[in-house]
């Protein structure tokens, strides 16, 4: 089994933040070693959005192999590995059933090194029991900053609706659609549907409008 040594990983449930989206207060871990697996393009694409792997032999092989520095000691991780298709690489954190719990991308130089090592490996076959989509399809393609803005917008709209702040809710609705809607329930549902659409400049405009509404004296 091939290993990659001394790399930083930032596991999260959203399919891995790019290294330039890492925050200083993230739970970034320093892995002493982690096994590396080469797989085909199709399997890599499925795994990158979350899956359950039907591979007991594979899970047995990586069990308790990865090591992470934990303060003054080194501890073993039950199921963790890197997978590469020879062009990209991600780290997986799994449970004993083969479900991918979290994913991490790598720093650019460590990713290049891992891919180089992976290109010398023989492809392994990993069977996918089923795919698990994290959040919805739209959220998976958002940047970390966009995802944060979407969360705040959803929270704001819910708060306005629940507190019966109809005037402000209607104002935001009009700015999105450029026409009025008197039925508050329909208005609320349409704004929620809009927020689930593919991210666009209109979402940024609404976010800025919400921020501006709180800065007014």
Give yes or no for a contact between 27 and 119, defined as CB atoms under 8 angstroms apart: no
Residue for token digits 């009009």? 174
Share of the chain above pLDDT 90, in %: 67
185-189: long-range contacts (C-beta < 8 A, 24 or more apart)? 188/157, 188/161
Q: Which residues sit opposite 3 in a β-bridge?
A: 35
Q: Is the pLDDT of residue 217 over 80?
A: no
Residue 36 has pLDDT above 90, yes or no: yes
- pLDDT confidence tier of residue 4, bands split at 50, 70 and 90: very high
Give the pLDDT band of residue 85 (cuts 50, 70, 90).
Answer: very high
Q: How far apart are CA 172 and CA 191, in angstroms?
A: 9
Average pLDDT, the chain: 90
- Cβ(90)–Cβ(105) under 8 Å? yes
Which letter does DSSP use for residue 205 in this model? Answer: H
* Residues in Cβ contact with 118 at an 8 Å cutoff, skipping those fewer than 6 apart: 2, 36, 38, 82, 84, 86, 89
Question: CB of 149 within 8 A of CB of 207?
Answer: yes
Average pLDDT over residues 56-62: 94
Q: Is residue 72 predicted with pLDDT exceeding 90?
A: no
pLDDT band at 90 (very low <50, low <70, confident <90, very high): very high
Give the three-class secondary structure for 51: strand
pTM: 0.71
Q: What is the pLDDT of residues 124-150, one digit of tens each?
A: 999 888 766 554 455 557 788 888 888
| Joined tokens for residue 53 | 């792997």
């Amino acid at each position: 089994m091939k290993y990659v040594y001394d790399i930083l990983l930032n596991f999260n449930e959203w399919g891995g933040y790019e290294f330039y989206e890492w925050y200083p207060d993230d739970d970034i871990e320093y892995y002493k070693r982690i096994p590396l697996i080469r797989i085909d393009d199709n399997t890599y694409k499925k795994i990158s959005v979350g899956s359950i792997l039907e591979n007991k032999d594979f899970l047995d092989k990586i069990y308790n192999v990865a090591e992470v520095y934990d303060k003054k000691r080194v501890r073993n991780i039950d199921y963790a590995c890197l997978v590469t298709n020879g062009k990209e690489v991600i780290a997986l954190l799994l449970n004993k059933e083969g479900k991918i719990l979290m994913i991490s991308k790598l720093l650019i130089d460590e990713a290049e090194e891992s891919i180089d090592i992976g290109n010398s490996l023989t492809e392994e076959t990993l069977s996918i029991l089923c795919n698990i989509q994290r959040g919805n399809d739209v959220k998976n393609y958002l940047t970390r900053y966009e995802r944060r803005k979407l969360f705040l917008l959803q929270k704001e709209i819910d708060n306005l609706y629940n507190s019966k702040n109809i005037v402000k809710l209607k104002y935001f609705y009009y700015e999105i659609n450029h026409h009025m809607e008197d039925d508050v329930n329909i208005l609320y549902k349409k704004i929620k549907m809009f927020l689930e659409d593919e991210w666009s400049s209109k979402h940024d405009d609404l976010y800025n409008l919400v921020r501006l509404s709180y800065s007014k004296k």
